[in-house]
Amino acid sequence: MTQISETLTVTQTPQSVPSDKWGKQTPVDSPVRIALVDDDVDFRDAASFALTDLGFDVVPFADGASLFNFFDEGHMADIVVLDWRLPQGAGIDLLPKLRRRGIQLPVVFLTGIATAQHESVALERGALDFVDKDRGIDILARRIRLILEAGRRLPDQPPEQQITCGPLTLRPKVSRAFWNEVDVQLTVTEFRIVQLLVSSVGEFVSYRAIYDCVHSAGFFAGCGEDGFRTNVRSSMKRIRNKFKVCDADFSEIENFSAFGYRWRGSRKGAL
């Protein structure tokens, strides 16, 4: 049976970035600077004007690339406000990219996707707040002031736990999976399934257990008492296909049709 190893790594701030750059406090007599990322130009302009009227200094961006260029050029902000939906990928995926670049600013999501599931994922990823756009800019402004006045800047991040199993590397904190160092581009749900299989490497995990790791225990979906099996098979097919994009010979996920699936482990052994 292939062994799983857990390692701790520390993300280093790039050498070109001063160590105190992202933690520098705004002078007392300067307005709070907000980096606002939203691809809806009408909403972005309206929100920027409203926040400026409330005493903030707003720097608007249409996408994550523009935001990163802003920081790469040496500019600063006090807080980042992200929309969930952006032209190139979800706003939630920008959060770990900010951290990898050493940008340890507080992040607030301002989005029209106001579901409990989205809010839970945002907070798990490290956002400090999640605000429904329908609540209005006044509420957003109050939330931002509460965060900054409470001194809730992110502390130095603890070492990140990584799980490795052969060519597979899992990063649970940001729900990312890498195969031979290539991001498999799993969704959060797909990542949970892979993590469950790897936690029992070499042993079959039942359809029911796989389904329960995505939904609550006892939740039923599909046709008939065992309809959830169809949902699991569909999820596993999507996961396999994503791994095969990285490696056409990928075959680590095996199926026992009467029971469930297993991660068989790499023949190369654990890293």
CATH number of the domain at 243, please. Answer: 1.10.10.10
In this prediction, residue 226 has a pLDDT band, given cuts at 50, 70 and 90, of low
Same domain for 115 and 91:
yes
Alpha carbons within 13 A on the beta-carbon side of 153: 14
Q: What's the mean pLDDT in 158-180? A: 83
Contact predicate 266/252, CB 8 Å: yes
- Residue of 160 and 107 predicted with greater confidence: 107
Q: Which domain covers residue 213, as residue numbers?
A: 159-263
Same domain for 144 and 39:
yes
The pTM of this model reads: 0.49
The pLDDT of residue 253 is above 90: yes
Please state, for a pLDDT cut of 90, what percent of the chain lies above it: 23
- Residue of 268 and 123 predicted with greater confidence: 123
> What was the pLDDT predicted at 90?
74
Structure tokens at 77: 């902000």
Same domain for 145 and 40:
yes
| Pairwise CA distance, residues 197 & 146, whole Å | 41
Give me the number of domains the chain comprises.
2
> What was the pLDDT predicted at 25?
42
Q: What's the mean pLDDT in 167-180? A: 86
In this prediction, residue 198 has a pLDDT band, given cuts at 50, 70 and 90, of very high
Same domain for 166 and 130:
no
Q: Which of 95, 129, 149 is the last residue of a domain?
A: 149
In this prediction, residue 27 has a pLDDT band, given cuts at 50, 70 and 90, of very low
Q: What's the mean pLDDT in 14-24? A: 36
Helix ranges restricted to H, 101-206? 116-125, 137-149, 188-199
Same domain for 228 and 193:
yes
Residue 12 inside a domain? The answer is no
Lowest mean pLDDT among 129-143, 173-187, 205-219: 205-219
Lowest mean pLDDT among 111-120, 150-159, 172-181: 150-159
In this prediction, residue 76 has a pLDDT band, given cuts at 50, 70 and 90, of confident
The pLDDT of residue 155 is above 90: no
Same domain for 141 and 165:
no
| Pairwise CA distance, residues 205 & 199, whole Å | 10
Residue 15 inside a domain? The answer is no
> What was the pLDDT predicted at 269?
36
Same domain for 166 and 90:
no
Same domain for 180 and 145:
no
Across the chain, mean pLDDT equals 78
Q: Which of 130, 149, 168 is the last residue of a domain?
A: 149
Same domain for 79 and 183:
no
Residue 223 inside a domain? The answer is yes
